Amino acid sequence: MKLELILTDYMTWAETNICSVERTRSAVKYLTAELGERDHNKLSPAVLQNYRAKDNLSRASINRELGVLRCALRYALDDKRSVRSIPEIVLRKVAKNAKKRSKLWLREEQLNRVLDAAKKYPVMSAFIQLAWYTGQRKEAILALRKNQVYGNTVWFNDHDLPMSERRKGRGEVPFCKGLVILLDELYQAHPGSPFVLNGQHGSRLKDINREHWDEIMLEAGVPDLTPHNIRHTVATSLIREGVALYDVSKLLGHANVGVTQKEYVDYQPKFLTAAVSKLDSLVTRIPVE
């Protein structure tokens, strides 16, 4: 039986019979997209091992979705809907001390899914865009004042702000086209506010709406993502594009480039290219006997 039919039947039942329906709905969406055309008895270990392999999810997230698949198959078996046997769904092993969230970063298609899902909540959409265009921490974005934006640069490290010496490092971010457009929209939305990002009614946004955040990430298929992972995505994306570690370090506001190197050196797939390319130029100097 096609998995799409099994998942659809299960979701119809789940809508009125389980509590965590949002997570189940999200899991069914991605299970259907990737496995829906397969017959239920063709779920080999290799197929399950490759499930959403390209999406850079934590094992815990994948296990949640595979757990929904397991429940859907059991429901079909119990309901005797043309299913007489079901395959074993083996979950991924998760190390007890593994850092499940801190190293997550979004690939281009995932980032676009997040941005699309955030459109229903303008404040959250603005926050995510600011995080992407600046690479700064959540606290720095929420506290950003309009007087920190001048000279084609956003000065997150404004030392005139109260308790500035006790803050974590913040960067100095030059304007890009997307940031200019976004700032203009935010200024027009709340011209009288001293803050760049404001709540729906024009008051200072002290924190993001966690329910909205979770809903957006579930819809985008990245349920483990935290606001800090947007910053991690910015750094990782720039480094993978060949931007120098020193430049990335300045953007992030790290104390020194050593901090950036320790955190992100593994994301430089071409970091030795320049070094080994020198070997080509030495070949002609090797004497031929």
The range of the structural domain enclosing residue 190 comes to 108-267
Give tens-digit pLDDT for 92-133.
876 554 444 557 889 999 999 999 999 999 999 999 999 999
Q: How many domains does one find in the chain? A: 2
Give tens-digit pLDDT for 144-166.
999 999 999 999 986 565 545 44
> Is 228 found in the same domain as 117?
yes
Q: Is residue 289 part of a domain?
A: no
- In DSSP terms, 204 is beta-bridged to 198
Global confidence as pTM: 0.69
Kindly state the average pLDDT of the residues 262-279: 65
Q: Is residue 219 part of a domain?
A: yes
Q: Is residue 279 part of a domain?
A: no
> Is 114 found in the same domain as 224?
yes
Q: Is residue 121 part of a domain?
A: yes
> Is 151 found in the same domain as 65?
no
Q: Is residue 97 part of a domain?
A: no
Q: Is residue 67 part of a domain?
A: yes
Percent of the chain with pLDDT over 90: 46
> Is 243 found in the same domain as 191?
yes
Percent of the chain with pLDDT over 70: 83
> Is 202 found in the same domain as 128?
yes
Distance CA 180, CA 133 (A): 10
Q: Is residue 91 part of a domain?
A: no
> Is 121 found in the same domain as 32?
no
> Is 112 found in the same domain as 75?
no
CATH (domain of 23): 1.10.150
Domain boundary among 27, 62, 79: 79
> Is 51 found in the same domain as 174?
no
> Is 167 found in the same domain as 25?
no
CATH (domain of 255): 1.10.443.10
Q: How confident is the model at residue 255 (pLDDT cuts 50, 70, 90)?
A: confident
Kindly state the average pLDDT of the residues 59-88: 86
Q: Is residue 186 part of a domain?
A: yes
